[in-house]
């Protein structure tokens, strides 16, 4: 992996993970975060949500080839709400996601709905002035903290996530 790019294994060390946690990755893509997370949540489960069936198919292939069986894939549009139970998850991942969303606050509210009390949301996104990636739709960590505060989430921890991304842990209380 290129230095300065996202290293999920390293970034996940910012969270107190338990092996039995139930997690959900919003906009999972082909599983860059799902696979390392599933390996750490040995007796837990990772739900992987993406709108693209090609991404879900690629993730299913990777999980199968690595013999990882604690991943459930879901094809769904997180901006429309996902058909999953309230207060079910310990952790929701939102990595490189916000710049792609129309209704950012609605998606944050959806993550909150899915979280158990004391559950966490891990947000990783592009620095506003990062020279790489799509510049359109980027949000600052301050903007996400403001949204989180409006909907009743606590900003617990901020950190640098590689050379071009910021990280934020939000908690539902």
The CATH architecture annotation of domain 19-172 reads: 3-Layer(aba) Sandwich (3.40)
Q: Strand 165-172 and strand 153-160: pairing?
A: antiparallel
pTM of the model: 0.94
The pLDDT tens digits of the residues spanning 125-147 come to 999 999 988 888 899 999 999 99
Read off the tokens for 74: 């879901």
The pLDDT tens digits of the residues spanning 6-57 come to 899 999 999 999 999 999 999 999 999 999 999 999 999 999 999 999 999 9
């Amino acid at each position: 992996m290129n230095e300065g790019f996202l290293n999920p294994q390293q970034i996940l060390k910012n969270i107190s993970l338990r092996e039995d946690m139930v997690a959900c990755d919003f906009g999972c893509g082909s599983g860059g975060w799902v696979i390392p997370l599933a390996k750490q949540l040995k007796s837990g489960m990772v739900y992987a949500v993406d709108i693209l069936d090609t991404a879900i198919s690629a993730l299913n292939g990777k999980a199968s080839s690595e013999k990882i069986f604690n991943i459930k894939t879901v094809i769904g549009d997180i901006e429309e709400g996902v058909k999953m139970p309230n207060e079910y998850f310990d952790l929701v991942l939102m990595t490189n996601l916000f710049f792609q969303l129309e209704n950012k606050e609605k998606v944050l509210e959806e993550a909150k709905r899915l979280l158990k009390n004391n559950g966490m949301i891990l947000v990783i996104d592009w620095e506003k002035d990062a020279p790489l990636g799509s510049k359109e739709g980027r949000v600052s960590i301050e903007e996400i903290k403001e949204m989180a505060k409006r909907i009743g989430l606590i900003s617990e921890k901020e950190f640098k996530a590689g050379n071009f991304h910021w990280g934020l842990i939000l908690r539902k209380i």
